[in-house]
Amino acid sequence: MAGSRNNTVVTKFILLGFSDSPKFRIVLFVVFLGIYLLTAAWNVGLIILIRMDSYLHTPMYFFLSNLSFLDFCYVTSTTPKMLSSFFQKPEFISFTGCTTQYFFFSSLGLTECCLLAAMAYDRYAAICNPLLYTAIMSPTLCVQMLVGAYITGIFGSLLQLCALLQLNFCGPNIINHFFCDLPQLLVLSCSETFFLQVMKFVIAVIFGVTSVLIIMISYSYIIAAILKISSVEGRSKAFNTCASHLTAVTLFFGSGLFVYMHPSADNSLGYDKMASVFYTVVTPMVNPLIYSLRNKEIKDALERCKKRMFSIVTVN
């Protein structure tokens, strides 16, 4: 199946991963395992902290806890399979497993696009309409925005999956990547892929570009409102909150749009692979740090949690 194209129906693919050197594979395995464990610990820890501390039961932290949940699921959809590939050469994945992995990965990614846009709107409401913030960002609206993000994300991914399943794969079956992603699968198809190429571009525009536009419009109003704040402390707090979100947005959308907004080609797959590392592995790891390191409310919540744990240990 790995040779030239023929009439053979491909039932499984080979994931090349990152390196054929045994020593280099061990180093990469240790690095990515460490990143995965840190990602899981930080995101799950942030979710637990937000759930436990009543002071963090606000729309901002409601969305942040769901972002952490998405990031944990997002990295889990690709990293465990990637880690196993370092010690299984060649690393096979069935056609069904490949398309299933892509569906979950794509659904989570598209959902995160919508969630980041919702978080920008939340910051707009908090800074530009502080007196009406509670009324605007009601619990009902927050849940509706979250459910809407999941529904649209799953629907967008389902459309691509249905189109992908219509393609024929008759060889070669070697995926020059560490997981099953659409650009790499399009290169391997022996069917006409123009329709799916256009669909990939349109969905990238709808979810990626539209979300970025919503974020940019929200932040144009936010920046104008911040500049009107007379208190230096107030401006600093607002800028810190916005800077965290904008950093996460830049990392996620910058690398994601690079992969999905340009046509698939054999000579671009190496760049796609490196860009994919940022939005599939690095971004989920750094998001909890971005939102926590300069966040006084998170630090205060950690202190309260430590005091509660200390008091429980002391009583026992």
- pLDDT tens-digit readout, 53-104: 989 999 999 999 999 999 999 999 999 988 888 877 778 899 999 999 999 9
For residues 196 and 169, the answer to whether their CB atoms sit within 8 Å is no
pLDDT at 263: 57
Domain parsing of the chain, residue ranges: 17-315
Instruction: State the residue for tokens 């996620």.
Output: 252
For residues 142 and 236, the answer to whether their CB atoms sit within 8 Å is no
pLDDT at 1: 44
Instruction: State the residue for tokens 């464990």.
Output: 37
- pLDDT tops 60 at residue 3: no
pLDDT at 120: 93
pLDDT at 59: 94
| Band of pLDDT at residue 316, cut at 50, 70 and 90 | low
Strand partners of residue 91: 15
Please, what's the b/e burial string for 126-135 (b: 16 or more CB within 10 A of its CB; e: otherwise)? bbbeeeebee
Q: How far apart are CA 132 and CA 112, in angstroms?
A: 26
Task: Classify residue 207 by its DSSP letter.
Answer: I
The pLDDT of 227-244, averaged and rounded, is: 78
Which amino acid is present at 289? L
* % of the chain residues with pLDDT over 70: 90
C-alpha separations of 7 from 36, 123, 162, 172, 202 in Å: 40, 55, 22, 11, 31
Q: What is the pLDDT of residues 147-187, one digit of tens each?
A: 999 999 999 999 999 999 999 998 788 888 889 988 888 88
From first CA to last CA, the distance across the chain in angstroms is 64
Question: 17-315 — its CATH code?
Answer: 1.20.1070.10
